[in-house]
Structure 1
Amino acid sequence: MTRVHFNGGATLGADDLAALLDRIAVSYAALHECLEEKLACLRCAELENIDSFLGRERLLAAQLIEQDGMRRRIMEQLGRPYGMSAEKARGMPVRRLAERLGEPHSSRLCAAADRLKEQIGRTQALAGMVERVSRDVLVHVREMFAAVAAPFAGGEGYCPRGATRGSRPRELFEAVG
């Protein structure tokens, strides 16, 4: 197994990188699931549930950033014995590094990279759809608020005691929160 020393004596190697790529794919799968649930809420106009999905998305995004940082550090350490600069190794595609490492690591790394690439593609496609639907929902919500906030025909409405008066959209929102 190709192993390198990392962070004060801990060792990480090609197998660790493949395992990390699989964990990143699992994180993307969790994000995909969250986006599917969010899309279902958007389609049913369950806007009150959207906040919970935003929180989960933020947590998963932070987790993915952390995992990607670890991936870059492992790539850097694996590239060092081959004379690669830290920057070059961090930005190198996993497939190219796998070619340099050779078997038995190459096939495992390439398979993990393929699984990750497929999951990222699925998640990005769904994220694009959620973005478009969210934009459409926002347009409709704005139209609804504009219609509710518009003055009544004739410019009058009723006060709490039943008397008529000129309507002010702000009062409607104050009454309903």
Structure 2
Amino acid sequence: MADSSSHELTPPELTHFRDGLPRMVDVSDKVATTRTATAEGWVRLPAEARAALEAGTNPKGDPLTVARLAGLSGSKRTADLITLCHPIPVTGADVRVTLEEGGVRIVATVKTTAPTGVEMEALTAVTVAALNVYDMLKAASKAIEITGVRLLTKTGGKSGDYRAADLGG
């Protein structure tokens, strides 16, 4: 029987925990570089919610415009919502909210020049926008679904560029 002690695995060093306690990673020695991230998400609409949106009869107003504004705001408030996320300067953000065959598609691109990335800001922008679509249309249907929130692309930083596989990455 082989000696299993020679195959012991060393546990990975956790970046957000030290001595078993949570911590914010120190990025003060990292160089600020230009970084971008694009994320997407979907809001699936039951027929009655889609009909209210298409007809413009939603009593709360235009869900797509509200969602776009909410997504932009969410990108800047990420560090307030994600516990160990660094507050970074969002130097640019674009949130597109469109009604498509599959429902409402939300795509957010966020840019910064900072020592850490903007993936969380892009994902937060999408999620906050999606929640606002739900809020604006919930009177028409409670069966609205938020789905497919994911990172599409990122550029910059130590880990390099990323492109989701189904985008040709």
More strand by share: 2
Q: Which bin holds the TM-score, normalised by the shorter protein?
A: under 0.3
Length-normalised TM-score, structure 1: 0.24
Length-normalised TM-score, structure 2: 0.24
More helix by share: 1
